[in-house]
Amino acid sequence: MSKDDLNIKDNTSLFKEERYVQQRENKKQFEAPCSEQETAEALAYSKSAEYMEKNFSRQNVVINPHKACQPLGSVMAALGFEKTLPFVHGSQGCNAYFRSHLSRHFKEPTPSVSTSMTEDAAVFGGMNNLIDGLENSVALYKPEMVAICTTCMAEVIGDDLNSFIGNARIKGVISEEYPVAFCNTPSFVGSHITGYDAMIKGILSYLYTRSGIESKPGSGAESGEKLNVLLGFEPYTGNFAELRKILAAFDTKYTILGDHSGNYDSPATGEYEYYYGGTKLEDVPQAANALGTLSLQKYTLKKTQEYISGTWKQQISALSTPLGIKGTDKLLETISELTGLPVPASLTEERGRVVDALMDSHPYLHGKRVALVGDPDLLIGLIGFCLETGMEPVHIVCSNGDVDYNEVKFKDEAVALLAASPYGSEATVHVGKDLWHMRSLLLNDTVDLAIGSSHLKFAAKDADVPLIRVGFPVFDRHHMHRYPIIGYQGTLNLLSLIVNTILQQLDDNNSGFNFELVR
């Protein structure tokens, strides 16, 4: 085959060819489109202050919310346990959405099955679908545990998972001993972080209850269960590696409860397997005997934290995503308090190197106005990082921010954090708003940088604001999930990402004597 035969054009250039341009023009006769003038006028109006006022007054329409539905989070949670198959009680289309969304972010396959509910199941119930699905899944994919979640359809008709699983055992489809955890995850309430929490709690409570073990916090230190760690809905596999590095420096034993990093950072060896890594099922009951549990997403893991403190009677130390110097300092102090071990000298030295890097870049960060979008725990971390570097958060949108921990609402904590710094004086926190609201904010009160997921790119482009991609999902850049953003190394990574974007903007927008070699 010649080189010319392999010259396959990318869609970006292909659809600029005259034949495709003409094809699009010809289609307009069937579409009754607005004229170019009308389109331009509507676009200009959508950028106005008058439109912004109407945009913020809408109540019954949501446009591009920055959140996904509950079952997506539960699929991620299930993949955090060894040889566990996520099982979605709902339609194939729902499951395809969860799989594709996760796979596009991590660039890895997402093994997950569904009960393929259709119109019949919607009318008569999905029990037969679930029983047949369990039989086929166990036979084909040979998981050591199945973790079932629900979708809108199953929740609206009121399917009883516990009863259906019991009937599957009665029919001999699965044995009495075969582990099947489950949780209810209605897509019409909550978000992906709610679903993650529900599944983690469901798996921990199921495996602990069936083991018959009675929790004795602190009794497992010698057998390896000294500290439990919950990372939460974690879109960065690099954060798992960074946390392991930190815990290894402390030389403490620990169990990560819900570790999906193996499934989403698996090697290409020529042989595909369904399951990689994950928390061992037998380690979960033993985790009830740990000294305590460290949670890195206190708003995400509310139900799980309540279960561990209430049923396991364990001390919970709950933080938000530990970004920046102060966030990492708090993380290390918390680990030290839980384990009784001093902060290692190697981490203190690493801190010093990152502080030095922050000082190098501070002149380019100081005073930059920033817009932020993300989940509650990530936003708390990002706000803290911005404030300690002298950047000024201005617009903060959290679509799924109507959450609380220990009776403190996310918004109240965010507002208090901003009020404690002179760099937070212009900030406004918008809970329950979406990315179309953010577009109006960016167009009418401009900022220097936008920080958020790939979904923010359209609003950022309309406002001509550079986007720093942080959070979930990141579809349009590769391998960013492999780099940690927590810990001192994560702080350095985040700093490099932001300051180099700023420096690139300086090069792009300057020429002549301003086009400098050294920055």
Active site residues: 152, 156
Angstrom distance (rounded) from CA 312 to CA 292: 10
Q: Three-state DSSP class for 138? A: helix
In what helix (H) or strand (E) does residue 270 lie, and over which residues does it extend?
Answer: none
In what helix (H) or strand (E) does residue 183 lie, and over which residues does it extend?
Answer: none
List of residues 6+ apart from 35 with CB closer than 8 A: none
Contact (Cβ atoms closer than 8 angstroms) between residue 98 and residue 112: yes
Phi, psi (5° rounding) for residue 255? -130, 125
Question: Residue 376 is encoded by which pair of tokens?
Answer: 């509650």
Q: Can the peptide bond before residue 473 be classed as cis, meaning omega within 30 degrees of 0?
A: yes
Question: Residue 362 is encoded by which pair of tokens?
Answer: 């501070």
Q: Three-state DSSP class for 250? A: helix
CA 271 to chain centre: 28
Q: Which long-range contacts (CB under 8 A, 24 or more apart) does 170-178 make?
A: 171/131, 173/131, 173/134, 173/135, 173/138, 174/134, 174/135, 174/138, 178/138, 178/146
